[in-house]
């Protein structure tokens, strides 16, 4: 990879393009994208001018363009380690294909195997590391390191230094060659929630009496049982809880207090800001779909810094000396 030239990447499980926004911001050019959800495809097209390919399981890896970096926020599905019935997808019946058969992570592996990108970045919920007592993550690392031969690094990062939201996600970085890579130290900006709030908000975002009363009863019920479930009134001078894809239901995890009124939900634009998307990011879908989309998205500024650190590492040739180098 030339120090002066840009780099190419592909965007898998693309959602609405949070990873693409970040990697383009780091100087990359997207040459392929895949996303099966039709509403996410609409938002993606409105912002990037092209419609992602559909179901990744039906895409031939050999039809995907060559690229420098593979990026993907793959869904965390249950990993079936035993009892695999079909083992012939790539003409092999052993190794990581057995362990990850039937999962979407398998599709990332087959694409990496076929295209051998110089690097990859994968993103997932932080619980991926502890899922099934660590067995799932062990399978993933084994596939990436032992079966595919990549130098793999991972870290759980809280985005609250970049956006006013507590949001922990695991990032997995891999290089085709051994690299002295370190995740970037993010500048501690600690923005306040009030910085992303709109000054004028339509009445429709204020909770109706029925919804608000129901949430209060729900909280009281669980509080009596000693549970922590219920709604959360956000502090404008602090940070919000994690925005989830279920936010469209009642907004319970992040409610904005209002004087002499029921609390309100965040608007879709505020959700976009909470995830670090620029204000010119187009939201062409309904509010409910927008809530789902931003709840599933990545925090753009965090990924942009990781992308820049990856490219700098590759461009400056920070190759780690291994025993094989001495043998040569």
- Residue 238 has phi, psi (to 5 degrees) of -120, -145
Give the whole-angstrom CA distance, residue 277 versus residue 44: 13
CB 83 within 8 A of CB 117: no
Q: What is the dihedral sign for C-alpha 239, 304, 172, 182?
A: negative
User: Residue 222's pLDDT is what?
Assistant: 65
Question: What residue spans of the chain are helical by DSSP H?
Answer: 18-25, 38-48, 96-100, 104-115, 135-141, 209-224, 247-250, 268-274, 287-295, 300-315, 323-327
Given a cut of 50, whether residue 60 has pLDDT beyond it is: yes
Q: Tens digits of per-residue pLDDT, 152-178?
A: 999 999 999 999 999 999 999 999 999
Residue 76 known to be catalytic: yes
Pairing, β 256-258 against β 261-264: antiparallel
The larger pLDDT score, comparing residue 31 to residue 80, is at 31
All domains in the chain, ordered by first residue: 7-188+299-327 (3.40.50.150), 193-295 (3.90.120.10)
For residue 162, list its beta bridge partners. Answer: none
User: Residue 210's pLDDT is what?
Assistant: 93
Q: Tens digits of per-residue pLDDT, 199-224?
A: 999 999 999 999 999 999 887 776 66
User: Residue 98's pLDDT is what?
Assistant: 41
Supply the angle between the helices 38-48 and 287-295 in degrees, to the nearest 10: 80
User: Residue 258's pLDDT is what?
Assistant: 96
Confidence of residue 229 (pLDDT cuts 50, 70, 90): low
Q: Tens digits of per-residue pLDDT, 276-287?
A: 999 999 999 999
Query: In the predicted model, what is the mean pLDDT of residues 184-202?
Result: 96
Radius of gyration (C-alpha) of the chain in whole angstroms = 21
Query: In the predicted model, what is the mean pLDDT of residues 41-54?
Result: 97
Three-class SS state of 26: coil
Give the whole-angstrom CA distance, residue 79 versus residue 105: 9
User: Residue 87's pLDDT is what?
Assistant: 33
Q: Which of 76, 109, 271, 313 is catalytic?
A: 76
- The chain-wide mean pLDDT, for the chain, equals 87
């Amino acid at each position: 990879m030339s120090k002066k030239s840009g780099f190419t990447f592909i965007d898998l499980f693309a959602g609405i393009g949070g990873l693409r926004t970040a990697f383009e911001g780091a100087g990359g050019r997207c040459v392929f994208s895949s996303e099966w959800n039709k509403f996410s495809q609409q938002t993606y097209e409105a912002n990037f001018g092209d419609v992602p390919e559909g179901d990744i399981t039906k895409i031939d890896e050999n039809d995907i363009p060559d690229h420098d970096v593979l990026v993907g926020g793959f869904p965390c599905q249950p990993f079936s380690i035993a009892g695999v019935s079909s083992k012939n997808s790539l003409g092999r019946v052993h190794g990581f294909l057995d362990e990850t058969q039937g999962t979407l992570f398998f599709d990332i592996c087959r694409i990496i195997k076929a295209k051998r990108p110089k690097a990859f970045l994968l993103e997932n919920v932080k619980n991926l590391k502890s899922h099934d007592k660590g067995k799932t993550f062990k399978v993933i690392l084994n596939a990436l390191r032992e079966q595919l031969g990549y130098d793999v690094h991972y870290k759980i990062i809280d985005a609250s230094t970049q956006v006013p939201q507590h949001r922990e996600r695991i990032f997995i970085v891999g290089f085709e060659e051994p690299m002295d890579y370190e995740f970037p130290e993010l500048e501690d900006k600690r923005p306040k929630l009030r910085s992303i709030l709109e000054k004028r908000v339509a009445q429709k975002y204020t909770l109706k009496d029925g919804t608000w009363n129901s949430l209060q009863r729900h909280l009281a019920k669980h509080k009596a049982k000693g549970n922590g479930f219920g709604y959360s009134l956000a502090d404008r001078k602090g940070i919000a809880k994690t925005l989830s894809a279920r936010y469209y239901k009642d907004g319970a995890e992040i409610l904005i207090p209002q004087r002499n009124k029921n609390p309100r939900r965040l608007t879709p634009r505020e959700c976009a800001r909470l995830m670090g998307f620029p204000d010119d990011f187009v939201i062409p879908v309904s509010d409910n779909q927008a809530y789902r989309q931003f709840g599933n998205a990545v925090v753009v500024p965090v990924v942009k810094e990781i992308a820049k650190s990856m490219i700098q590492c590759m461009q400056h040739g920070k190759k780690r000396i291994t025993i094989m180098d001495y043998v040569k």
